[in-house]
Each structure stands twice: as C-alpha cells, then as structure tokens.
Chains A and B, each alone.
Chain A
C-alpha cells in the first residue's frame, strides 16, 4: 500500500488551551483571596447552576483533576496508596481514589495544600458519583454542605416531562440550598448566561469532532484530550465556549487546507473510554503505522451534545439561541439545561450498551473507520459498562476490534509492553506495516 504524505502543523490555539486549563486550577485554589467561593463536584455536574451565585465562584471537577494526577506517576501512586491505607478497595474508580488520596495527603497537584471546597455540587448517574463526594466530605472532616442531583431517569429516547420534572425539582431545590449555604442572593441572569454558554460550548465541541470526518483527519485523539478537557472543567463558562469557537474555526481551516493530524494517515481508528493517562504514547505508536485515532464516543460525547441532522448524519445539537429561543425565567433555563444534558451521548449507555453500540457503529461509518480499539478500563465502572457487548456488536457490524485491558488512573494495572504487542498484531491483521 502506498504511503500518503500530508502536511502537518501544530494547532495555533494549543497554548491557549493549556493556559485556560491552568487558570482553572489556579482560580479554584485562589478563590478565597478574591473573596470568592470554591465548589467541588463532577465533570458532569450542572455547573451552570452555581454560576448564578456570582462571577467569583470557582469549581474543581474531580475526574479531570485526577486524570492530571495520573500523568504524574509518582504523585499518582502516593494518592492511590493513601486511599488504600484508609481501607478503600483497589478496584474502585481510580479517579475517585486518586482524588481522595490528594485530600488525605493534603497535597494539591498544582502546589500547596489541597484547597477545601466551600460546598459540594454533584450529580449522580454512576454508582460512584454521589458516594465519591460522601466519602470526600468525610475525609475532609465532614460538615461540607453537599447537594447531589439524581439524573438517572432513563435514556433520552424515552424521556418524558415527568422525568425532566424530577430533575428540575432537584435543581430548584438546589438553588434554594445554594442561597442558604452561601448566604448569597441568586442571580437568574447569570444562570441564563451560563446555560447559553454551556449549550454553545458543548454544541461547538461536537462540531469540532464532526470536522474530524475529513480525510485526512485534522485532529488526532491524543491532541483532542487536551482540548475536550476544557469542557470537563467549566463547560458553562464563556471562556470555554469562546475557545471552542476559535478552535472550530482553526480546525475548519485545517480541513480546507488538508492539514493533517498525522503525516501519513492511511488507517482510521477510534478508541473507547478514558485512555491510560500515563501512557498516551500508545497513540504516538499507532502513528508509526500510519494509523490515526480520530477520537471516540468518549471524546465526542462526554461533553459534546449531538443530534440527527436532516441528511441523516450525526452533528452538533442546535442550541436554543440558534433556534431563536429567548430564555427568560429560571424555570425555563433549568428545563433547557436538564433536557440538553439528558441528550448527552455518554449518558445513554448507562441504561443499555446496545444504544452505545448503535452510536459507535454510526461513528465507524460516518468517520470512515478501519478498526476500533476498546480499552477495557478497570478504572471506570461507568464507562466500561457494557463494553463487552459493544465489542460483539462492532464485530457483528463488520469492524475489526482490538481490546486491551488497563486503567485510566492506576498505572499498576496497565501493561505497556503487552499493549504495544497487541497493537502490532492488530496492525498486521489490518494489513499495516510500520512506516520506516
């Protein structure tokens, strides 16, 4: 097979993404210096709601914080072992154990002591979500006000007004609770602005991923991790929504000018679930064969919000603003926020792996894939849910599948050499040889 060669160049907005990420962690740590407040919760929590308390409310989201630690192998191991010493099982979510370890050690990845949150604001769809902050609160000595919203009301295709109302009532209650525990008056205008920002950010991120249908792919999955993460930090913020628009414009330019993520794309793959964060060299290894991972349902749908387009393809969900909807009340804003999040692709498989298989097969077709790598991720019960059924469905649909076992946040459960060996075999079955 002839080896194609494409032009490559670094993303111009790359450093800005890194700056935004670092600002997020600094803002959280320094919130009290500015008279602001800190809250802790998950990457999927309804961050737009606490935003109504003011412009000086800074979150830390547990999953990306722990993923960052996983990249620092020395600190990661100390965090994991600290949790184990407290009696927590090694097979629990590795993000959660890492996050707890950072509290137990009282060390913040970005320097200093772990900054204690003023309140906890979480949602719950995975068995670990609510319990994560229950235990975190205990480890902090208890007494941190905590509000958790149950969002596990079934897949979006079966959504009813009653199911949205259940979430809505918890949201309304949450706002009253926020006013009570912070002593601040709630500002609906700030909520409405945050909801618009969240819809814009998550829709534009889907648009960025959609652009990766192009051959050659303008982005590879390893780079996408550094970009999608902003949505896991503060998807409701103006800075993230603005950044994604800037990124979208740059990626469009790359597509128009055939600027590729990898120099020799000749084989297109996708992966699944979080990668083993300490071993992203797996993706660089693939490049040696001319293989590019164009993303995954995880990178597309953890934050991105999608819809069926009139031509039958999968594309970014039309935002309320694009539809000409004017959000005028708190209730309307919350209802839109609930409905928008319920349609998130990564929430669907919690009810059936078969819904996820259909989405993965759709990606495989529309993004023109040659094969799929499934990470059997021991570190995440939620996103590994049903993964074996996904494998069967993808094989049935005619796609070659390679599985590898590992852990997103616990390097003790990832065998790098064995994984690279599996990749060699998989590439051979796809007819790919290493490019000299």
Chain B
C-alpha cells in the first residue's frame, strides 16, 4: 500500500506531466502551505508543492545570498534546472521572507504565464485577519478566473473544499493509528503519504489513502515499530532518509509539527452555510501557525504540548533549517517548555543534505538517554 505513495513522491514530475497529458488541465507550483488549494481545485487546476531535491547545487548562488535558508535555495534550484518545466504558473502565499525569495527569483528567471503573490495576513491572531483574507481570496479567485477563462462557481468551490477536507480527514485517520502503543505504520511511511499528498491530485490520493486506512483498521499490517516514541518539530522537513535513520536506530516518529506534516492538514474548512471565501479564510487563519505568524501570543506552544501528550512522546527532535529565523525565534521557548514538561529534546540543524553519520550518533545518544529514564 505504501509503495504507491512512495512511487508518487519519488516520481513527482512524471506524475504531474502525465496528469497534464491525461486531463489537459493546468498545473500550478506553490511555495508555501498557506496557499488556498481549495480555490485551485475548484478551478480544475492541479496544485503541486515545490520542494527541493536534497542535492548539493550552486545554481542559486547568484540569486540568493547564502545567509538565507537552504530550503528556499533548493526550491529555486529546481526551477533554474528546469525540473518543473511543466508548470503553467507559480504562486506564493505570504509567509517567511526566505521562501519568498525563491518565488521572486523564480518569477523573473523561470517565466510563467501566471504568477500570484497572495498577501496572506501575518497577524492571524487579529479579529480583522479573516475578513481581510476573505477579500484577498476573492481577488485571487478573480485572477484565476481571468487566467483560465472560466468562472469559478459556488458549486466549484464547494467541490474544492470537499476534495481538500476529505484528504485532510483521511490524514487524521492515518495519524490516529500512531497513537497506538505499537504504531502499525512508521514515521517514514507516514512522511511518504504526507509528501505525496502535496503533489498528487487529491482525487487520486484520497481513495488510495482510504484503502490504506481501511487496511490498518482491519489490522492487515503487522506492528512495524516498537521504538522510542518521538516527535519531530520545526522547520520544513521532507528529509525521508533522516527519518529512516532515526527509526533504524530505535526511534519511532509518531507525530510531527512541520509544514510537510500536520501543519499542512491539521484543520478543515467548516462550511456552515456562510460565505465560502470566509470559511476558507477562517481555515487558513486558524490552522496551526507557522512561527512567522505566531504572535503576539505563542499559540504554538500549547498546541505542541497537546500533540506531545496525545501521542505520548518520550522525546522531541527539534529540527531547524539553517538560518530559518522564524523557527530560531521559537525554539528556545519551545525547548524550555518541553523540558519543563519532562519531554527531552534534541536540536539538529538541517541543510540541503544532512550529515547522516554524525546525526546518527547524536540520535543514538539521545535515544539512550531517553531509555535510561525507563531503567532508573
């Protein structure tokens, strides 16, 4: 069952090209998970998240100053190398400054027929954020309509919302198995499912995911991991080899808080007969926040603690893309709170490629430390 998700993730570009050929539809690349995919699905467009390839590169050196995060440079590299040459458009929803540079350089050096900068509000704790975003979503919808030459109706929007909600709900079902004492699905496999979710038509992804959930419910999978229960939290993380390594030395990643995992799918659009754009806006305003938007109050900390308790983690690996300012501004407060709640933490700094050998030693030491708690 997982092999299909792995195949999608590993062959993401082949999938998107085939999708275009099969449907004749447009594909849009997006740079941040605050992009309202509901509207794109309503328009019949396939949204694919632009991610890096974890290969050393130098093509972005003339475009992005080296003090910005490796993830944004890796993403831009994909565009400059022509790996997303099938895209019809690109867009970003305003979040951190780092990924914004990948978008602005892409727009200039990898020309598209459509590009859009959605000024997603940063003050998500303000009561004015929802009406403002709802108005911006209407403007965005008009821009998409102009581009595709077709009106997006309310029925289309409802369909877009349903497609997204169904997929998110299924992801919740998948994650719920990870609360088991012996989770029947590994952190690596979960990450494959989560990543493919961001690059595959959700109308194909959801049925496959539903099958997986049904098989898990039926107990078709034997227990795959009895390792020490861990949480991974922090910056963007699509580093599958890292998770594989952690689980190979006795860890079991049962929950995460990053934008390739739960932050992407955690909440649904609630349609209660009101304005659809306002409902979509509310979903994005109320989702678990990216640290760049988590002010004045620190809403992330109680959310993270809840996740840690609900999934009964023994320790947390706090990862940070090198130079990622928003996370650097949250990490000291998170580590302090976790430690005060008897959840030990291991901090690791990520780059385009990670030193797996060195990290393995540190993860092993961390796991030994956590296991000592059981002995004494």
Contacts and interface: CB of A to CB of B under 8 A. Distances in A.
B361 interface: no
A128 interface: yes
B267 interface: no
Given A127-B292, A149-B123, A163-B119, A88 B105 contact: no
A80 B279 CA distance: 45
B321 to A, nearest CB: 11
A57 interface: no
A134 interface: yes
Report the interface size class on chain A: 35 or more
Nearest to A86: B332
B65 A388 contact: yes
Nearest to B64: A388
Contact of B122 (A89, A134, A152, A382): A152
B332 A87 contact: yes
Nearest to A125: B122
Contacts of B298: 134
A130 B128 contact: no
A150 B126 contact: yes
A381 interface: yes
Nearest to B94: A152
Interface in A121-153: 124, 126-128, 130-131, 134-135, 138, 146-150, 152-153
B104 interface: yes
A154 interface: yes
A91 interface: yes
Contact of B326 (A131, A135, A146): A131
Contact of A389 (B108, B126, B296, B330): B108
A126 B295 contact: no
Contacts of A391: 62
Given A134-B295, A146-B296, A385-B97, A88 B332 contact: yes
A389 B326 contact: no
Given A87-B332, A350-B97, A376-B65, A128 B325 contact: yes
B338 interface: no
B295 A352 contact: no
A208 B11 CA distance: 58
A384 B67 contact: yes
B65 A384 contact: yes
Contacts of B170: none
A60 to B, nearest CB: 19
Nearest to B121: A150
B329 A91 contact: no
A150 B123 contact: yes
Interface string B45-70: 00000000000000001111101100
A89 B326 CA distance: 11
Interface residues of B, number: 45
Contacts, number: 126
A173 interface: yes
A117 B326 CA distance: 24
Contact of B65 (A86, A126, A387): A387
Contacts of B104: 351-354, 386, 389
A341 to B, nearest CB: 16
Contacts of A384: 65, 67
Contact of A126 (B94, B97, B132): B97
B148 interface: no
A8 interface: no
Given A131-B295, A150-B126, A392 B97 contact: no
Contacts of A353: 101, 104-105
Interface in B290-333: 291-292, 295-296, 298, 323, 325-326, 328-333
A219 B329 CA distance: 39
Interface string A364-402: 000000000000101001101111110110000000000
Contacts of A92: 325, 328-329
A384 B67 CA distance: 9
A88 B331 CA distance: 8
Contacts of A160: 139
A148 B67 contact: no
Given A88-B332, A148-B123, A388 B63 contact: yes
5 contacts: A162-B139, A351-B117, A354-B104, A389-B63, A389-B101
The 5 closest A-B pairs by CB, nearest first: A150-B123, A87-B332, A130-B295, A166-B132, A131-B329
Given A150-B123, A166-B132, 11 more contacts: A87-B331, A131-B326, A135-B329, A146-B296, A154-B117, A163-B132, A173-B126, A173-B128, A351-B119, A384-B67, A392-B63
Interface of B: 61-65, 67-68, 94, 96-98, 100-101, 104-105, 107-108, 117, 119, 121-123, 126-129, 132, 135-136, 139, 291-292, 295-296, 298, 323, 325-326, 328-333, 335
Interface of A: 86-89, 91-93, 124, 126-128, 130-131, 134-135, 138, 146-150, 152-154, 160, 162-163, 165-166, 169-170, 173, 350-354, 376, 378, 381-382, 384-389, 391-392
